[in-house]
Amino acid sequence: MIVTVINQKGGVGKTTTAVNLAYVLSKQKNVGLLDMDPEGGTSFSFGIRRDKKEYGIGDKSVNIFNIEVFPAHLGLLKLELGGEVEDVVKSVKSVAENFDVLVIDTPPNLGTLAVASMISADKVVSPVTPQPLAIEAVRNLDSRLQSLEKKAIAFASMSKRPLELDLKAVKFVQLSIPPSKLFSESSRLGVPASRYEEIKLKRPRVGRLYEELAKVALSE
Ligand SMILES: Nc1ncnc2c1ncn2[C@@H]1O[C@H](COP(=O)(O)OP(=O)(O)OP(=O)(O)O)[C@@H](O)[C@H]1O
Ligand SMILES: [Mg+2]
């Protein structure tokens, strides 16, 4: 199964969502995490520098916390600029064959890599921050999903309250990930927040929310 995390607005929590979903899912499933952002947000979250070499999609991976992470590399930029969507979809689907779940992090645009990741997806998850531009972005995403005949779930990211928005292809679930310092602290250490709190806090909170998100995302 392929779970693609998407929102063309930058900085809304896509990478954070992908990394933490992969972490909670990896406790029970064989999980891959594919960084499709040439900027390498997911790779950076695990302390991996963007590779200056060029690989094919899925050619290079490293196992961290029981997640098979496919870091960003120079080949992504070439595909973003000159690749064919259908070819990328084929590559992504063949990577997914090796896993129960392949989680994909996407760049903040609707270019070749994001669209191919969306087409490949069995489930699409969109974090949305409670700001006018992020809400506008999810409206546009809704139109795009409709034209591709796909559905997505969305949730409130960096917000104390869930969001409600009536869209056609995007369904808002009543879940919010509140703002927390835990995210910047953990990302500095190259650890998913839901892993970091297991060690640091007596009563973990964030992991439970991502578990809930994983449950709805996989079942919707
Ligand atoms: N719930 C949260 N509370 C506080 N900070 C958060 C939360 N979620 C994410 N962040 C922080 O917000 C920043 C942006 O998050 P993230 O990188 O996940 O967004 P993104 O959508 O992947 O961005 P980009 O579009 O640039 O790839 C990061 O520094 C991250 O640590
Ligand atoms: Mg990112």
Q: Which ligand is nearest to the CA of 14?
A: 1
Which SS3 state, helix, strand or coil, does residue 120 take?
helix
Is residue 29 within a helix (H) or strand (E), and if so which, with residue range? none
45 touches ligand 1 (CB under 6 Å) = no
Per-residue confidence (pLDDT) for residue 206, from 0 to 100: 93
Q: Give me the pLDDT at residue 160, please.
A: 97
State which residues form the domain around 126. 2-219
* Helix-strand-coil split of the chain, %, nearest 5: 40, 20, 40
Residue carrying the six token digits 């009536």: 166
Which residue's entry shows tokens 């999609």? 57
50-76 per-residue burial string, b: 16 or more CB within 10 A, e: under 16: bbeeebebbeebeebbebbbbbbbebb
Beta-carbon contacts of residue 142 (< 8 Å; ≥ 6 apart)? 167, 168, 169, 170
Which residues have C-beta under 5 Å from ligand 2, the single-atom ion? 14-15, 41
pLDDT of residue 52: 84
**Per-residue model confidence as pLDDT tens digits over 66-111:** 999 999 999 999 999 999 999 999 999 999 999 999 999 999 999 9
Q: What is the CATH number of the domain that holds 177?
A: 3.40.50.300
pLDDT in the model for residue 82 = 95
Number of domains in the chain: 1
Whether 220 has a pLDDT exceeding 80, the answer reads no
